[in-house]
């Protein structure tokens, strides 16, 4: 594991490109169970397992890209497409006996907690992104879901491979809550994690579409807004529904989905007493009727 920053962006790319990326222990267990039932498992079943794990998802996407150039004219932008391209049996053969995050960080309990917190946040962001893409009748919901899941990929990589540096960045932000994450990253690493992420996406030949969807600079595009707002909502609500940024998030999501404040709160299954009021509202909003459908389920 790294305990000091590497000298430049290219060195970071070489380091991560040569490393075996770990996956969640739960993912490894679910894939093994699926492999033992291979005659009854479909590519969709595998895709549903992979889409809960950012590092497993990036392993699949990075592995499949060289094959795409040989056989297809268009990019493979979904896990379902990648599994279909590989085939179910070759998929299991390629990804058997993976290293797990829990095994890698067994002697680093604070780092394990840190990376699991980030992964849970990205899982939540991907569920929001899928829900809203479904509501918007998006042309391909999984592309949006996948982009949200991978949005903070390099933050996960840092916790796994350089936990001391990740904790140093976190300590800077805890000491100064107004400190922007990019500033803290540059102080510790000498670069921004997002720049590293774009460079890795290029080095691993990931589809241009996914890179575009993960780039907040493209926020004028509705699909990118979907991803960015899902990531923001997951980040701001990580510690509850009282974060000061949530009212602005609500307003932006309502505009994207063309729904009311109360309807969005109902979709998110937020208790009425914790409902953040949108900036342009006056008076006390009526308590929303909470749907029985879980907030993470597609609608």
Nearest-10 crossing angle of helices 141-150, 222-236: 40
- Give the DSSP H or E segment for 143: helix 141-150
User: What pLDDT tens digit does each residue of the chain (299 aa) get?
Assistant: 899 999 999 999 999 999 999 999 999 999 999 999 999 999 999 999 999 999 999 999 999 987 765 555 678 889 998 999 899 999 999 999 999 999 999 999 999 999 999 999 999 999 999 999 999 999 999 999 999 999 999 999 999 999 999 999 999 999 998 899 999 999 999 999 999 999 999 999 898 889 999 998 898 899 999 999 999 999 999 988 888 888 899 999 999 999 988 888 888 888 656 666 655 544 433 333 333 333 343 33
Radius of gyration of the chain (CA): 20
- Cβ atoms of 47 and 79 closer than 8 Å: yes
Enter the pTM of the model.
0.88
Alpha carbons 158 and 294: distance in angstroms, whole number: 32
CB atoms within 10 A of CB 13: 17
Alpha carbons 24 and 9: distance in angstroms, whole number: 27
Burial status of residue 4 (CB atoms within 10 A of its CB: 0-12, 13-18, 19 or more): exposed
* Structural tokens at position 81: 């497409």
Strand, helix or coil for residue 205: coil
Alpha carbons 39 and 198: distance in angstroms, whole number: 38
* Structural tokens at position 191: 């670069």
């Amino acid at each position: 594991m790294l305990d000091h920053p590497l000298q430049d962006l290219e060195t970071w790319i070489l380091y991560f490109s040569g490393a075996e990326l770990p996956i969640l222990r739960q993912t490894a267990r679910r894939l093994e169970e699926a492999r033992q039932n291979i005659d009854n498992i479909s590519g969709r079943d595998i895709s549903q397992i992979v889409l809960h794990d950012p590092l497993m998802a990036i392993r699949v996407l990075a592995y499949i890209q060289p094959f795409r150039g040989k056989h297809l004219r268009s990019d493979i932008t979904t896990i379902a497409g990648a599994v279909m391209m590989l085939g179910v049996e070759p998929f299991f053969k390629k990804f058997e006996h993976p290293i797990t995050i829990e095994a890698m960080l067994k002697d680093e309990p604070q780092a394990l907690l840190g990376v699991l917190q980030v992964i849970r946040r990205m899982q939540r962001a991907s569920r929001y992104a899928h829900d809203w893409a479904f509501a918007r009748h998006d042309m391909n919901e999984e592309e949006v879901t996948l982009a949200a899941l991978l949005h903070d990929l390099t933050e996960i990589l840092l916790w796994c491979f350089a936990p001391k540096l990740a904790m140093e960045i976190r300590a800077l932000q805890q000491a100064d809550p107004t400190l922007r994450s990019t500033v803290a990253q540059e102080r510790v690493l000498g670069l921004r994690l997002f720049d590293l992420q774009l460079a890795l996406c290029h080095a691993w030949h990931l589809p241009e579409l996914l890179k575009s969807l993960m780039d907040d600079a493209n926020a004028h595009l509705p699909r990118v807004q979907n991803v960015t707002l899902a990531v923001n909502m997951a980040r701001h609500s990580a510690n509850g529904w009282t974060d000061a940024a949530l009212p602005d998030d609500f307003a932006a999501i309502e505009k994207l989905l063309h729904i009311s404040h109360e309807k969005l709160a109902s979709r998110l299954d937020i208790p009425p007493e914790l409902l953040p009021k949108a900036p342009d509202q006056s008076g006390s909003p009526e308590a929303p009727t909470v749907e029985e459908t879980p907030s993470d389920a597609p609608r």
